Structures are given as structure tokens and as C-alpha cells.
Amino acid sequence: MRIGILGAGGMADALGTRWAGAGHEIMISGRDARASAARAAKMAEMAEAAGMPGTPGITGAPGITGTPGITGTPGAPGTTGRVTAGSWAEAAAFGDVVVVAVREAGLVDVLTASGPALRGKPLVDVTNAADPAAYDPARSPALLIARLSGGHVVKAFNLCHVDVWRMRPPVFDGRPLAVPLCGDDPAALAAARTLVTDLGCTPVDGGGLARATQLEATAAFMIGLWFGGADAQAVLPPLEWSGAHTPA
Ligand SMILES: NC(=O)c1ccc[n+]([C@@H]2O[C@H](COP(=O)([O-])OP(=O)(O)OC[C@H]3O[C@@H](n4cnc5c(N)ncnc54)[C@H](OP(=O)(O)O)[C@@H]3O)[C@@H](O)[C@H]2O)c1
């Protein structure tokens, strides 16, 4: 798949490097063409190195396993996709799917500069509110992106810190990370599911795009807990204690 990424920061780097490792063609974009090109070159190098046997994944926290060279996730040597950099409009035109990975403050400018290429395309929105403490449901980045671009937005990847997306693969206590997806368009959701599974994660149906605001609120709330030093994962019970679930 050709993946255009609006953004050349941490999220573009982490996700783009993993997807290049899985064989996708990546084009990132930022405000500084030289810095973006340098980052793209580094991403290509990292994606290639990750496919080398014996290259460890990110480890370092108890219960986190980075599996080196897991089949179907990082590419084997020579199977990584190309990583290039372009303008916002070039990345928008390049992608079969376009990932929006810019700061909230830049969204309007970046979407305007991306031009009409986004119309009707699958767009994966990873953004969060700039200040989770001041989260405002009336200012949903996902709904703003849908309105300004005319693309088919799927909200995803916004619940976890960038370092999680660098893991190969994100597995905690033996359980692959589940990634909720909120979107309306079947083709865009299918593309997003592929991007999730190519990281070694499990896609979860999070409902339509209207529920993206809930995903954004969840991120803001969880980030608040994490920054307060709480284990946000511990606040939710297992499925069998969810009340709503009737085992088959
Ligand atoms: N970092 C995380 O742990 C994490 C996790 C989940 C979701 N997110 C969300 O993902 C998005 C990207 O995060 P990131 O960590 O990749 O951020 P980052 O490293 O700071 O990169 C931000 C990107 O946005 C671009 N941008 C365009 N207009 C901008 C403006 N006016 N002000 C600031 N940046 C502007 C930057 O362009 P240049 O390249 O020219 O600087 C850069 O490419 C954000 O919405 C963030 O909330 C982040």
C-alpha cells in the first residue's frame, strides 16, 4: 500500500518505520523539506535494520516483549518499502491511504495545503487535542479533518504513546495490543485494519466516526491518569466483569 503521512514528527516516524518494515511505500511531510528528507532516510535505514535477523525489538519495561523479526510484521531484509519525503500536497496525493499525524495547532493549515487530493480518500487520524487537560468535545480533530478534507476518516492509534508504536510488536503480558477504529467508510476501515495488523496489533470495531470524539475523550482522560502516575490500564475490569457481556 502507498501511505502518505501528513507529519514528520514522532508518530510519523514510529508508525511509518513499522509500516515500511511491513513492505508499504511511505511518504512523510513536514514544514521543513530538508528535515523531513533526513527523517525519511533515517526511517528507511531503521526499517531495513529491523528486518535483519537478531535485531531486537524495543524492550525495557517489565512485561513488554519486542519480538525480533516476527513474521508478517517487520520485513525481511530487502522487503521493506521505500520511505520518501514530500510536500503536504505530495504526500496527500501519494497515499492510497493518508495518515494525519500533525499537532492540533497545525491541522487547518496542513489540510488546506494538502489540497483536493484528500477528497474521498481513506484518512487515518492519529491526532489528539493539544492539551488533554483542556480537552473540549466541541473541538474534535477527527470531525474537523472530515469536514475540511472530504476524506473518509478513521480515528485510530491515538490511545498510546509514540514509544508503543515503535515496539515490534506491541504485546503486553503476552497479549497483542488492541486498537479501536472509529469510522464510517468500509474501504477506509479495511485499510486501517490492515495498518493495525501490520504492526502486530488487533483491530477492534469502535463504531462510526461519530464515536471518534469518545476515543479522543478517552485519550485525554487516560493521559491525565498516566501523567498523574496512575496505571490507567488497571481502571478497567476484564471482559467477563463488564456486565454487558454474555458468554456464549
Ligand atoms: N507523541 C505521542 O505519544 C502521541 C501519541 C498519540 C497521538 N499523538 C498525536 O499525534 C499527532 C502528532 O504527534 P507527534 O508526537 O508526531 O508530534 P511531533 O513530533 O511534534 O510532530 C508534529 C508534526 O506536526 C507538524 N506540524 C504542522 N503544523 C504544525 C504546527 N502549527 N505546530 C506544530 N506542529 C505542526 C510538524 O511539522 P514539522 O515536521 O515541520 O515540525 C510535525 O511534522 C499529534 O496530534 C499528537 O497529539 C501523539
Structural domain boundaries enclosing 66:
2-241
The pLDDT value recorded for residue 245 is: 64
The pLDDT value recorded for residue 34 is: 98
Please say if the pLDDT value at position 158 is more than 80. yes
The pLDDT value recorded for residue 75 is: 46
Give a yes or no: residue 87 inside a domain.
yes
The pLDDT value recorded for residue 244 is: 80
Q: Is 60 left (phi over 0), alpha (psi -120 to 50) or beta?
A: left
Mean pLDDT of 159-181: 97
| Ligand 1 within 6 A of CB of 103 | yes
Beta bridge partners of 178: 202
What is the position in ligand 1's atom list of the atom closest to the CA of 104? 45
The pLDDT value recorded for residue 39 is: 98
Give a yes or no: residue 111 inside a domain.
yes
| Ligand 1 within 6 A of CB of 126 | yes
Encode pLDDT of 100-130 as tens digits: 999 999 999 999 999 999 999 999 999 999 8
What is the position in ligand 1's atom list of the atom closest to the CA of 7? 43
- Residues ≥6 apart with Cβ < 8 Å to 153: 123, 124, 125, 142, 145, 146, 183, 188, 209, 212
List, edge to edge, every strand of the sheet that includes 64-65. 64-65, 171-172, 175-176
Grade residue 71 by pLDDT with cuts at 50, 70 and 90: very low
Give residue 22 CA to ligand 1 midpoint distance, Å. 23
Least confident of 21-30, 66-75, 122-131, 168-177: 66-75
Atom 6 of ligand 1: nearest residue by CA position: 158
The pLDDT value recorded for residue 215 is: 97
Please say if the pLDDT value at position 248 is more than 60. no
- Residues ≥6 apart with Cβ < 8 Å to 169: 57, 66, 67, 70, 73, 176, 177, 199, 200, 201
| Ligand 1 within 6 A of CB of 187 | no
End-to-end CA distance of the chain: 37
| Ligand 1 within 6 A of CB of 29 | no
Please say if the pLDDT value at position 67 is more than 70. no
Least confident of 6-10, 39-43, 236-240: 236-240
Give residue 246 CA to ligand 1 midpoint distance, Å. 41
Atom 39 of ligand 1: nearest residue by CA position: 30
Give a yes or no: residue 248 inside a domain.
no
How many residues appear in the chain? 248
Give a yes or no: residue 247 inside a domain.
no
Give a yes or no: residue 217 inside a domain.
yes
- 6, 11, 201: residue to mutate for ligand 1 pocket, most atoms within 8 A of CB: 11
The pLDDT value recorded for residue 61 is: 36
Q: Which residue has the higher pLDDT, 132 or 70?
A: 132
Beta-carbon neighbour count of residue 194 at 10 Å? Answer: 15
The pLDDT value recorded for residue 52 is: 64
Q: Give the strand pairing for 83-86 and 175-176.
A: unpaired
Give residue 103 CA to ligand 1 midpoint distance, Å. 4
Please say if the pLDDT value at position 91 is more than 70. yes
Give a yes or no: residue 72 inside a domain.
yes
Q: What percent of the chain has pLDDT over 90?
A: 83
pTM: 0.92
Give a yes or no: residue 44 inside a domain.
yes
CA distance 103 to 176: 27
| Ligand 1 within 6 A of CB of 11 | yes
Grade residue 133 by pLDDT with cuts at 50, 70 and 90: confident
| Ligand 1 within 6 A of CB of 139 | no
The pLDDT value recorded for residue 132 is: 85
Beta-carbon neighbour count of residue 225 at 10 Å? Answer: 14
| Ligand 1 within 6 A of CB of 81 | no
Mean pLDDT of 165-177: 96
Give a yes or no: residue 26 inside a domain.
yes
CA distance 129 to 70: 33
What is the position in ligand 1's atom list of the atom closest to the CA of 157? 6
What are the C-alpha distances in Å from 138 to residues 93, 119, 217, 246?
30, 23, 11, 35
CATH number at residue 11: 3.40.50.720
Please say if the pLDDT value at position 64 is more than 70. no
Total domains in the chain come to 1
